[in-house]
Amino acid sequence: MRRYAKRDFPTNKTRRHLEPGPIVLISSAWKGETNIMTLGWHMMLGFTPALVATYIWDANHSYQMVRRSKECVINVPEAHLLDTAIRIGNCTGGEIDKFAEFGLTADPAEKVAAPLIRECYANFECRLHDARLIRGHGIFVWEVVKAHVAASPKNPRTCHYRGDGEFMLGGDAVKRRRLFTPGMLAD
């Protein structure tokens, strides 16, 4: 399994890793239990504070865990973890310990009780920012309060779901800074 040397990452640049739309692993903790779910339905909502929305179906075991604890960690896997991410998404934490079952390591987070998944290249510690859209919409609005990202690789090979068992992997990186005004790049 690949090992990452992670560094603190500025939360206001969270978009770099989530806006491209990868599947992520949501880790949670509640009353001595931890869980992990696989999720593709998320979007950025702001930079400062760094806000991220996730849609979580209320039938998921993680739904009650993140709703009650008001915390989670958004972990981003690379392609070598794709099969693991799929298997995590296709079983329920009500029956098994997903960290043990899938050979993942729960590292302590700094600001939340939910664990970081060591084997993911990026970890975003989140606190619930707005609970009003949960009931009725299933939308959790999170504030990223601490971020840890591997210094390398610079262009991680993320996994993007198309449905029906098919995925797209992250491809080439391209720069177009010349098409933006300096003020637009300053965020």
Does 151 bind its own copies (CB under 8 A)? Our answer is no
Contacts 24+ apart (CB under 8 A), 55-62: 55/137, 55/138, 55/139, 55/140, 56/26, 56/138, 56/140, 57/138, 58/138, 60/92, 61/35, 61/37, 61/92, 61/93, 61/94, 62/26, 62/28, 62/35, 62/36, 62/37, 62/93
**Interface residue with its own copies, options 49, 64, 86, 118 (CB under 8 A):** 86
- Residue from 31, 48, 59, 187 in contact with its own copies (CB under 8 A): 187
Beta-bridged to residue 9, according to DSSP, are 147
Judged by CB under 8 A, the residue of 49, 82, 107, 113 near its own copies is: 82
Give the H or E element holding residue 42. strand 42-46
Candidates 133, 135, 151, 153: give the one binding its own copies (CB under 8 A): 133
What is the dihedral angle through the alpha carbons of 45, 186, 184, 129, rounded to the nearest 10 degrees? 10
Instruction: Look at the chain and count its residues.
Output: 187
| 102 makes contact with its own copies (CB under 8 A) | no
Q: Is 135 in the site for its own copies (CB under 8 A)?
A: no
Q: Site map for its own copies, 30-59, x if CB under 8 A?
A: ----------xxxxxx-------x-x----
Least Cα distance to 106 among 36, 37, 10 occurs for 36
Residue 174 contacts its own copies per CB under 8 A: yes
Q: Which two tokens stand for residue 150?
A: 């591997």
> Which residue stretch of 20-28, 96-104, 118-126, 142-150 sits at the interface with its own copies (rule: CB under 8 A)?
20-28
Does 152 bind its own copies (CB under 8 A)? Our answer is no
- Determine which residue in the list 1, 96, 151, 169 makes contact with its own copies, applying CB under 8 A: 169
User: Nearer to its own copies by C-beta: 81 or 109?
Assistant: 81
> Which positions touch its own copies (CB under 8 A)?
13, 15-17, 19-22, 40-45, 53, 55, 79, 82-83, 86-87, 90, 130, 133, 137-139, 141, 155, 157-158, 160-181, 184-185, 187
